[in-house]
Amino acid sequence: MSRTAILGAMAAPHVPVAFLTALKRGWKGRCPRCAEGALFGGFLKMRSHCPACGLVLEPYRADDAPAYFTILAVGHIIVPLVLILERYGNQPPLWFHALLWLPLSVLIALLLLPRIKGAVIALLWVHRMASPKPSTGGLDISP
């Protein structure tokens, strides 16, 4: 983080952000606090802090939640379509189902995963549900 960004982050007043606003910003891959900085440095690689406002993002780790919600969403999109095709599509052969639904499932999952991860990070930030720092390997016996 640059010195200017650190000073900007320190000088920025804490402005409460509405739940849905933060969720939308996260869905778009933007910082839930300022909506300017990008949440991700790569496809799913979360930045350590917001490059625009300096919000520290490291404690808001989504872990497996985005994958879970993505699988849940893809299943709820694909399964009804499979059933509709099977019912009204003159029962196409299994190879047709595999050729259609497998790539479509992967495509939808790849489209949804970063959006859902951003929304989960925003959700964690809105509720200030920060995770403790990951263990450095040593046993922490401090009270």
Q: Which residues bind Zn ion (CB under 5 A)?
A: 31, 33-34, 37, 50, 52-53, 55
Question: 69 with 77: CB under 8 angstroms?
Answer: no
For residue 132, the minimal CB distance to Zn ion (Å) is 22
Instruction: Identify the CA nearest to 131 among candidates 82, 77, 62, 30.
Output: 62
Based on CB atoms, which residue is closest to Zn ion, 32 or 66? Answer: 32
- Name the residue nearer to Zn ion (CB basis): 10 or 141: 10
Residue whose structure tokens are 């350590």 = 48
Of 112 and 121, the one with the shorter C-beta distance to Zn ion is 121
| Total Cβ atoms within 10 A of residue 37 | 19
Q: Give me the least distance between CB of 131 and Zn ion, in Å please.
A: 19
d(CA 82, CA 104): 11
Which C-beta is closer to Zn ion: that of 50 or that of 121?
50
Strand partners, 56: 49
Give me the least distance between CB of 36 and Zn ion, in Å please.
6
Smallest distance from Zn ion to CB 125, Å:
10
Amino acid at 115: R
How far is CA 67 from its chain centroid? Answer: 9
